[in-house]
Amino acid sequence: MELIQYAWTNIDVLLARTVEHISLVGVAVGLATLTGVPIGIAITQSERVARVVLYVASIIITIPSIALFGLMIPILSVFGHGIGYVPAVIAVLLYSQLPIIRNTYTAINNVSPALREAARGIGMSPLQRMRQVEIPLAIPVIMAGVRTAVVLNIGVMAIAAYIGAGGLGTFISRGISQSDPRQLIVGAVAVSLLAVITDYTLLALQRWLTPKGLSRSAGAGA
């Protein structure tokens, strides 16, 4: 009861933090999609390059976010952006690369050879094949990658409150430092709800973007 009351009285701050959280993650993953999808498409041309790129991306995603902040702050402070939303957005950008690149790459690579041959056989140029066949078929899997990235980075952004990036993590960090369980729980529940709701929303978007003929056969993830 007390919690609900607390949340209600602070609803304006809660909403502002939520919007902040969403917009930071949204902008960063949006940018990451703009880089990750072309990279994922490009590396289908060479298996060796693909292996290197995916390896590097997987190392990056292995680095714990707080460690990444610890590594970036000294470097970014040289440019005067050590703390705040800049390192957070860069971290989200980096973490998003693996799911987006990998899903794009696998999706395009997994288009069946028969389909590719049919597309070539009826005289589609490489660009037409890409636009009319490969990308439409890859979209659900690419969307699944974007979804993974968003959900992952909602968590990263929560931690980024500690480096002054704002967002819902602020409630948690204040809750801990002020030993205030109300802020702590409200923050934790809010960020969890945000992650779960976003996951479902993006899943719905993914289904909506899936070409109709695929909706029955194609799996959601990759």
Partner 1 sequence: MIRLENLTKIFETQKGSVIAADHITMEVPSGEICILLGPSGCGKTTTLKMINRIVPPTSGKVFIEGEDTSGMQTEDLRRNIGYVIQQIGLFPNMTIEENITAVPRLLGWDAKRYRERARELMDVIAMDPNIYLNRYPSELSGGQQQRIGVARALAADPPVMLMDEPFGAIDPINRAVIQDEFLKMQQALKKTILFVSHDIDEAIKMGDRIAIFRAGRLVQLSEPDDLLAAPKDEFVESFLGDDRALKRLNLVRVGDVVSSDIGTVNPGDTLATALKRMDEYGYQLSILMVNEQNEPVGMVPRSVASLTRGYCRDHFQPLPGTIHMGDSLRKATSIMFAEDTTWLPCIDDNGKVCGQITQRAMTRHLGARFRAAARTATAPATGA
Partner 2 sequence: MLASMLQRFGRIMVLAAVFAAGAWTYATGFIDEFLWHWPDVQYLTMQHLWLTAMSGSLAIAVGIPLGIVLSRPSMARVAESIMQVLNVGTTIPTLAVLALSMSFLGIGTTPAVFGLFVATLLPITRNTFAGLTGISPALLEAAAGIGMSPTQRLFRVELPNALYVIFAGIRTALTINVGTVPLAFLIGAGGLGELIFTGIDLFDPAMMLAGAIPTAMLAIAVDALIAVIAFLVVPRGVNPNRA
Contact residues for partner 1 (CB under 8 A)? 112, 114-115, 117-125, 128, 132-133, 136-137, 211-214, 216-217
Question: How far apart (Å, rounded) are the C-alpha atoms in residues 70 and 52?
Answer: 25
Number of Cβ within 10 Å of residue 30's Cβ equals 14
**Residue in 54, 68, 138, 144 binding partner 2, rule: CB under 8 A:** 68
Spell out, one character per residue from 124 to 153, where the chain touches partner 2: x when CB under 8 A holds, - when not: ---------------------------x--
Closer residue to partner 2, CB minimum distance, 179 or 212: 179
Tokens for 37?
């999808």
State the nearest-atom distance from the C-beta of 82 to partner 1, in Å: 47
State the nearest-atom distance from the C-beta of 52 to partner 2, in Å: 11
Sign of CA dihedral 213, 214, 215, 216: positive
Closest to 104 measured CA to CA, from 179, 174, 189, 40: 40
109 binds, among partner 2, partner 1, none (CB under 5 to 8 A by kind): none
Alpha carbon distances (Å) from 216 to 17, 134, 199, 210:
38, 18, 20, 10
Q: Number of C-alpha atoms within 13 angstroms, CB side, residue 51?
A: 3
State the nearest-atom distance from the C-beta of 147 to partner 1, in Å: 20
In the chain the beta strands, taken as DSSP E runs, fall at: none
65: contact with partner 2 by CB under 8 A: yes
Tokens for 32?
């990451």
Q: Which residues bind to partner 2, rule: CB under 8 A? A: 59, 62-71, 73-74, 77, 82-83, 151, 154-156, 158-159, 162-163, 169, 172-173, 175-176, 181, 184-185, 187-189, 191-192, 195-196, 199
